[in-house]
Protein backbone atom coordinates (compact mmCIF):
# COMPACT_ATOMS: atom_id res chain seq x y z
CA UNK A 1 0.00 0.00 0.00
CA UNK A 2 2.74 2.40 -0.94
CA UNK A 3 1.79 5.72 -2.52
CA UNK A 4 3.99 7.09 -5.28
CA UNK A 5 4.72 10.29 -7.15
CA UNK A 6 2.70 13.44 -6.72
CA UNK A 7 -0.04 11.50 -4.96
CA UNK A 8 2.40 10.66 -2.15
CA UNK A 9 3.57 14.29 -1.97
CA UNK A 10 -0.02 15.53 -1.73
CA UNK A 11 -0.88 12.89 0.87
CA UNK A 12 2.03 13.91 3.13
CA UNK A 13 0.84 17.53 3.09
CA UNK A 14 -2.73 16.41 3.76
CA UNK A 15 -1.53 14.16 6.59
CA UNK A 16 0.60 16.84 8.24
CA UNK A 17 -1.58 19.91 7.96
CA UNK A 18 -4.78 19.16 6.08
CA UNK A 19 -7.96 17.44 7.11
CA UNK A 20 -5.93 14.32 7.77
CA UNK A 21 -3.79 15.91 10.45
CA UNK A 22 -4.12 13.86 13.59
CA UNK A 23 -1.82 16.16 15.57
CA UNK A 24 0.43 13.40 16.80
CA UNK A 25 3.57 14.95 15.33
CA UNK A 26 5.20 15.59 18.72
CA UNK A 27 4.42 12.07 19.98
CA UNK A 28 5.84 10.45 16.87
CA UNK A 29 8.84 12.78 16.81
CA UNK A 30 9.65 11.75 20.38
CA UNK A 31 9.00 8.05 19.74
CA UNK A 32 10.50 7.60 16.28
CA UNK A 33 12.94 10.52 16.09
CA UNK A 34 11.29 11.96 13.01
CA UNK A 35 8.77 14.69 12.47
CA UNK A 36 8.13 13.42 8.94
CA UNK A 37 4.46 12.44 9.00
CA UNK A 38 4.97 9.71 6.39
CA UNK A 39 7.60 8.01 8.55
CA UNK A 40 5.26 7.66 11.47
CA UNK A 41 2.29 6.89 9.21
CA UNK A 42 4.13 3.77 8.00
CA UNK A 43 4.44 2.62 11.63
CA UNK A 44 0.66 2.24 11.86
CA UNK A 45 -0.86 -1.19 11.28
CA UNK A 46 -1.94 -1.89 7.69
CA UNK A 47 -5.63 -1.68 8.58
CA UNK A 48 -5.10 1.71 10.23
CA UNK A 49 -3.09 2.92 7.23
CA UNK A 50 -5.93 1.84 4.96
CA UNK A 51 -8.46 3.87 6.96
CA UNK A 52 -6.31 7.00 6.77
CA UNK A 53 -5.66 6.48 3.04
CA UNK A 54 -9.37 5.98 2.41
CA UNK A 55 -10.08 9.32 4.15
CA UNK A 56 -7.39 11.01 2.05
CA UNK A 57 -8.79 9.63 -1.20
CA UNK A 58 -12.31 10.67 -0.14
CA UNK A 59 -10.99 14.22 0.36
CA UNK A 60 -9.76 14.35 -3.25
CA UNK A 61 -12.91 12.85 -4.74
CA UNK A 62 -11.88 9.22 -5.09
CA UNK A 63 -14.39 7.00 -3.34
CA UNK A 64 -13.27 3.44 -2.64
CA UNK A 65 -15.76 0.70 -1.91
CA UNK A 66 -14.91 -2.93 -1.26
CA UNK A 67 -17.76 -5.41 -1.29
CA UNK A 68 -18.38 -9.09 -0.83
CA UNK A 69 -21.81 -9.97 -2.19
CA UNK A 70 -21.55 -13.70 -1.66
CA UNK A 71 -20.90 -14.60 1.96
CA UNK A 72 -20.18 -18.23 1.03
CA UNK A 73 -17.29 -17.32 -1.26
CA UNK A 74 -14.52 -15.04 -0.10
CA UNK A 75 -14.36 -12.93 -3.23
CA UNK A 76 -14.15 -9.16 -2.92
CA UNK A 77 -14.86 -6.60 -5.61
CA UNK A 78 -13.46 -3.10 -5.72
CA UNK A 79 -15.43 -0.09 -6.94
CA UNK A 80 -13.83 3.31 -7.32
CA UNK A 81 -16.21 6.22 -7.84
CA UNK A 82 -19.03 3.69 -8.33
CA UNK A 83 -17.23 2.02 -11.27
CA UNK A 84 -16.18 -1.58 -10.84
CA UNK A 85 -12.54 -2.18 -11.64
CA UNK A 86 -12.41 -4.84 -14.34
CA UNK A 87 -11.22 -8.33 -13.44
CA UNK A 88 -10.49 -7.65 -9.81
CA UNK A 89 -11.68 -10.55 -7.70
CA UNK A 90 -9.60 -11.13 -4.61
CA UNK A 91 -9.72 -13.73 -1.87
CA UNK A 92 -9.39 -11.51 1.18
CA UNK A 93 -10.26 -8.02 2.31
CA UNK A 94 -6.58 -7.12 2.93
CA UNK A 95 -5.76 -8.10 -0.67
CA UNK A 96 -8.67 -5.98 -1.87
CA UNK A 97 -7.51 -3.02 0.21
CA UNK A 98 -4.04 -3.15 -1.31
CA UNK A 99 -5.43 -3.38 -4.84
CA UNK A 100 -7.85 -0.51 -4.18
CA UNK A 101 -5.13 1.79 -2.84
CA UNK A 102 -2.85 0.94 -5.77
CA UNK A 103 -5.61 1.79 -8.26
CA UNK A 104 -6.60 4.98 -6.41
CA UNK A 105 -2.92 6.03 -6.31
CA UNK A 106 -2.69 5.45 -10.08
CA UNK A 107 -5.86 7.48 -10.74
CA UNK A 108 -4.77 10.36 -8.50
CA UNK A 109 -1.34 10.53 -10.13
CA UNK A 110 -3.02 10.71 -13.55
CA UNK A 111 -4.96 13.79 -12.38
CA UNK A 112 -1.97 15.44 -10.68
CA UNK A 113 0.36 14.85 -13.63
CA UNK A 114 -1.90 16.62 -16.17
Dump pLDDT digits (tens) for 1-47.
889 999 999 998 888 776 666 655 555 555 555 566 787 788 889 99
Confidence of residue 87 (pLDDT cuts 50, 70, 90): very low
Cα–Cα dist 23/3, whole Å: 21
> Residue 80 belongs to what domain range?
5-112
Q: Count up the domains in the chain and report the number.
A: 1
Q: What is the pTM of this model?
A: 0.80
Amino acid sequence: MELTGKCKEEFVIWLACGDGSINFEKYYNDKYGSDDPYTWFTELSKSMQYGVLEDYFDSVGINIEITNDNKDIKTFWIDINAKEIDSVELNSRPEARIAAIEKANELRNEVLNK
